[in-house]
């Protein structure tokens, strides 16, 4: 079973401040974590963080910390009621990059008590922070054994993704420019699981690039089938696919498999607003949203908050003039941190537009008309010549992802939360995320709840797989 840990940039920064105060002594914190429950890809998502005050530690030295568990009790009560996870995090200020024998003894005692209290069949976890903020960890299993965490993800302005080495430690990947597009990046991509929701105009070139970059696992979600009218903007689609009305996800899977890079695939020929799709995306490390609709974007943004996922949203807009030309052609890539602003906060869509998008369930015909109007406005156009624009925006999104995986730009990644390109005037500019926190802040790290994402439409979550 793969076991992963995720925490936000804000929680990571708070931990770094508390655990490494500069006095050279160990410190400790605990956290309540949500779960993406699975017997194959289990994820822990930090929900509440509780630093243990220094004056409540009986011993603090450079290689040992003992502490009162008084502040752990409320977390244990909640964990027992909701089958949530407990995470213990302490520091190794001297840089020792593995668990010590002192840690082994301490964790055995602590997690034996935690399992006695919570009686869970799923793991809890222990982690260590080193100088600079790098982390490694292990899962505590119900039988008393420990298992190294496969990865720790901090989806901040930079994507901190520490993966398990063969020797059982998580490397720093401290080199920046030298790692970009090199072996360091390739290794990390090989260990990553990435979801792409929507595999048409922008989704198909995103999938093409991620597969050729060597991503280890791709989850592809799209309910639609190939039609002749969209052959000119779906990579790897053929006239035969349109004639047979093959699901788009099957066309993408065929192309990725033919590349021969060994990419593991999960295809979901269904809407994102289904329990299976939500759970599959939630198990990934990164998600790309390549959808036209408002409702899908809102759902994916919500999912990113619940499961502490980095989300890259790709959008293209064309406004036709009614005479065969266009009045506007532009695109945007939004990078959404789970603890940052949402697409709605950024005015990508409004509450009224979201409400109107609900027509998809109550009046599908009206919904299709709205989607069509949002893509090409003013004329009925079955073959929009947008593949070059789609591919440029798809490449922008993938490069934004790579720039965060191994930062290389002169400017900090925080300056590029939004990347806009105007094809009529040749403009290209970047903007930061100006919000202190987003409208989904209360949901960060909740992970699996009933109903999924606290949405009644997702009231039948699948069992762990």
d(CA 98, CA 26): 14
Tell me if 210 sits within 8 A of 194, measured CB to CB.
Answer: yes
- Return the pLDDT at 349: 86
In the predicted model, what is the mean pLDDT of residues 401-405?
94
Six-digit token string for 170: 């998580």
**What's the rounded mean pLDDT across residues 227-248?**
94
Q: What is the pLDDT of residues 194-236, one digit of tens each?
A: 999 999 999 999 999 999 999 999 999 999 999 998 898 999 9
In contact, 302 and 295? CB cutoff 8 Å: no
Whether 3 has a pLDDT exceeding 90, the answer reads: yes
pTM score > 0.85 for this model? yes
Q: Which residue has the higher pLDDT, 350 or 22?
A: 22
The CA distances from residue 48 to 11, 14, 31, 444, in Å, are 9, 12, 5, 9
Q: Is 290 or 362 the better-scoring residue by pLDDT?
A: 290
Class of domain 2-163: alpha beta
Distance from C-alpha of 165 to C-alpha of 420, rounded to nearest angstrom: 38
Given this model, what pLDDT does residue 380 score?
42
| DSSP per-residue string spanning 335-364 | EE-TTS--TTTTTSS-HHHHHHHTHHHH-H
d(CA 48, CA 85): 11
Helix, strand or coil, per DSSP, at residue 12 = helix
Packing angle, helices 203-213 and 387-405, rounded to 10? 40
Whole-number pLDDT of residue 385: 60
2-163 and 184-458 in the same fold: no
Could you report the per-residue pLDDT of 13-71, keeping only the tens digit for each?
999 999 999 999 999 999 999 999 999 999 999 999 999 999 999 999 999 999 999 99
pLDDT of residue 105: 96
pLDDT at 94: 96
Q: Does domain 184-458 have CATH number 3.30.2320.50?
A: no
Residue 169 is predicted with a pLDDT of 45
Q: Which residue has the tokens 């009925």?
A: 380
Give whole-number Cα distances, 413 to 29, 156, 205, in Å: 28, 9, 23
Measure Cα distances from 395 to 91, 194, 210, 312, 314 in Å: 39, 16, 10, 12, 10
From residue 40, alpha-carbon distances to 1, 27, 85, 421, 463 in Å are 5, 33, 17, 40, 12
Per domain, the residue ranges of the chain are 2-163, 184-458
Say if residue 315's pLDDT is above 50: yes
- Residue 459: the pLDDT is 76
pLDDT of residue 366: 64
């Amino acid at each position: 079973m793969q076991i992963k840990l995720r925490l936000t940039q804000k929680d990571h920064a708070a931990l770094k401040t508390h655990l490494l105060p500069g006095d050279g002594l160990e410190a400790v914190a605990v956290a309540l974590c949500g779960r993406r429950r699975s017997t194959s890809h289990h994820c822990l998502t930090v929900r509440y963080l509780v630093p243990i005050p220094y004056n409540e530690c009986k011993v603090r030295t450079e290689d040992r910390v003992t502490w009162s568990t008084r502040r752990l009790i409320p977390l244990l009560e909640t964990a027992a009621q909701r089958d949530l996870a407990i995470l213990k995090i302490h520091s190794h200020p001297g840089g020792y990059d593995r668990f010590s024998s002192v840690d082994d003894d301490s964790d055995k005692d602590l997690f034996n008590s935690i399992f006695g209290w919570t009686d869970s069949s799923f793991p809890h976890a222990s982690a260590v922070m080193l100088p600079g903020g790098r982390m490694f960890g292990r899962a505590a299993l119900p039988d008393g054994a420990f298992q190294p965490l496969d990865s720790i993800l901090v989806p901040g302005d930079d994507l901190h993704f520490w993966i398990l080495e063969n020797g059982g430690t998580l490397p720093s990947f401290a080199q920046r420019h030298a790692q970009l597009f090199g072996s360091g990046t390739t290794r990390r991509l090989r260990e990553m699981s990435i979801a792409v929701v929507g595999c048409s105009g922008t989704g198909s070139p995103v999938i093409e690039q991620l597969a050729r970059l060597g991503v280890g696992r791709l989850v592809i979600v799209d309910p639609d089938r190939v039609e002749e009218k969209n052959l000119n903007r779906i990579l790897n689609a053929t006239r035969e696919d349109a004639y047979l009305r093959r699901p788009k996800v099957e066309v993408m899977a065929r192309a990725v498999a033919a590349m021969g890079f060994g990419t593991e695939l999960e295809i979901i020929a269904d809407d994102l607003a289904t329990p299976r799709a939500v759970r599959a995306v939630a198990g990934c490390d990164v998600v790309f949203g390549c959808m036209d609709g408002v409702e899908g974007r809102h759902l994916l943004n919500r999912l990113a908050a619940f499961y502490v996922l980095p989300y890259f949203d790709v959008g293209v807009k064309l406004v036709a003039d009614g005479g065969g030309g266009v009045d506007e052609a532009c695109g945007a890539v939004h990078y959404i941190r789970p603890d940052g602003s949402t697409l709605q906060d950024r005015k990508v869509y409004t509450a009224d537009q979201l409400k109107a998008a609900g027509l998809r369930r109550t009046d599908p015909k009206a919904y299709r008309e709205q989607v069509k109007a949002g893509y090409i406005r003013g004329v009925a156009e079955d073959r929009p010549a947008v593949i070059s624009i789609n591919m440029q925006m798809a490449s922008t999104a993938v490069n934004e992802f790579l720039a965060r995986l191994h930062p290389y730009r002169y400017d900090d990644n925080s300056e590029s939360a939004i990347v806009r390109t105007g094809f009529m005037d040749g403009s290209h500019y970047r903007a930061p995320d100006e919000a202190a926190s987003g409208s989904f802040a209360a949901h960060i790290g909740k992970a699996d709840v009933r109903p999924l994402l606290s949405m009644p439409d997702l009231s039948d979550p699948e069992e762990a797989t």
